[in-house]
Amino acid sequence: MLERLREADGKILDRPAYHRDSAAERARLTGDIWKLERAQYFSEPHDPAWRALMDGDWQGAIGVFEEERPAAREEARLFARRGTPFRRLRVIEFPISRYLQWEMHYFRLLVEEGFELRVIEASRLGHLERHRPVPEVVVLGERVAYEVRYDERWAPCGARRVTDPEVVKATGAQIAALWDEGEPLMDFFDREIAPLPAPVS
């Protein structure tokens, strides 16, 4: 079903247009939000926590996360008030990349503030990845699905907007099925991430 998303007709949006479009869709959304993240590294030069990681300042990166806690708490409350669950599924590979270790600390904060996150090992996706990795995807109810796009450095550069009802519904259902196979993020964090030393730049 995720391959159907790639094959479906869609509209290419640059990053600002994607953010505007998804914000407008979320404002009138009545269903669930699903987010599937596959790559083990992303380039996020506009994120001060990512820049701290790249500079080898691990404690600085964690400090930035803490500064973002109030905003995360308010966002979680907003989704709860709207009755639109936001479920985020992260694919992980071993050994854990420096980026993923960093990201997991932020995800722990999100869970602490009310977000729902799970992880699934890439080995569980073999039936979906015979030819290539699954795409990075955001699904908003049954209205729209976005295949999130990245440039050659894996920096975000927009998305492809798909509105075919059958494709959107099937994509959400596929991610929901993977979610059911996943592990709660905090269980994974406590076992695999918490024991790790700070990464070396």
Q: Which helix (H) or strand (E) holds 22?
A: helix 15-27
Check: CB of residue 91 under 8 Å from CB of residue 134: yes
Predicted pLDDT of residue 76: 97
Average pLDDT, the chain: 96
Predicted pLDDT of residue 201: 65
Q: Does domain 2-193 have CATH number 3.30.870.10?
A: yes
Predicted pLDDT of residue 200: 78
Asked, as a colleague might, if the bond just before 95 is cis with ω within 30 of 0, I would say yes
- Whether pLDDT at 103 is above 70: yes
Domain ranges of the chain: 2-193
**Average pLDDT over every residue of 8-15:** 98
**Average pLDDT over every residue of 121-142:** 96
Nearest to 117 by CA among 184, 174, 71, 66: 184
Find tokens 């796009």 and name the residue: 149
- Whether pLDDT at 189 is above 70: yes
| Confidence band, pLDDT 50/70/90 cuts, at residue 117 | very high
